[in-house]
A and B are shown apart, each in its own frame.
Chain A
């Protein structure tokens, strides 16, 4: 049972445009969400997080939106740059103190120059 789903395995976007990466979850107990970026042959790198008490968190070109009623979050990258080309994972955690994160299967973003 995949509790965190990234239904788009890949996405191509033109440089300068907005990239929108989506993530859905099924467990209503999840209350903390993170996005990671992964380049080939490297470990994932933490990008941005959001707590369920918020519906938006912004950090530079990256914004994460959370829609709790729809159990959906999205990562917006604007403007997209070729260096953003990577695999993006969303992850979710529930019940503070559990330390356990459930990851999605990832979306491969390709930003075209």
Chain B
């Protein structure tokens, strides 16, 4: 497809379980970002990847959160031992580079019961 895709679109899990969220960026986009949006809040930066550089993980809220980007393309955000406060919409975006608009995926709505 032409846009950023994310899967699953919805995920309901029980507290304490691990979840994996997937992002397929636009082909050729070197920068990939993860954000989350909690109810009534703005977009909270989590992590970004740029080419082969070390990712900027400064936005990850705890060590239960991790992300990887394989082959400079697909990215997976993993949340271990999920907590109820992890419930949010997780958004992935990609761009050609700095100072260029980001293209967002539709998001994954995570609900932790």
Within 8 A of A (CB), among B25-46: 31, 33, 35, 40-45
Q: Does A62 contact B (CB under 8 A)?
A: no
Q: Are the CB atoms of A49 and B48 closer together than 8 Å?
A: no
Q: Which of A13-21, A69-77, A78-86, A94-102 has 4 or more CB atoms under 8 Å from chain B?
A: A94-102
- What are the residues of chain B within 8 A of A93 when measuring CB–CB? 99
Q: Are the CB atoms of B99 and A89 closer together than 8 Å?
A: no
Count class of interface residues, chain B: 20 to 34
A104 and B98 in contact, given A44-B91, A44-B104, A99-B31 (Cβ under 8 angstroms)? no
Number of residues on chain A facing chain B (CB within 8 A): 27
Q: Does A45 contact B (CB under 8 A)?
A: yes
Q: Are the CB atoms of A43 and B91 closer together than 8 Å?
A: yes
Excluding A43-B107, A99-B98, A106-B42, 14 further A-B contacts by CB distance (< 8 Å) are A4-B42, A41-B107, A42-B106, A43-B4, A43-B105, A51-B99, A89-B43, A96-B98, A98-B98, A100-B45, A100-B56, A101-B33, A103-B43, A104-B42
- What are the residues of chain B within 8 A of A65 when measuring CB–CB? none
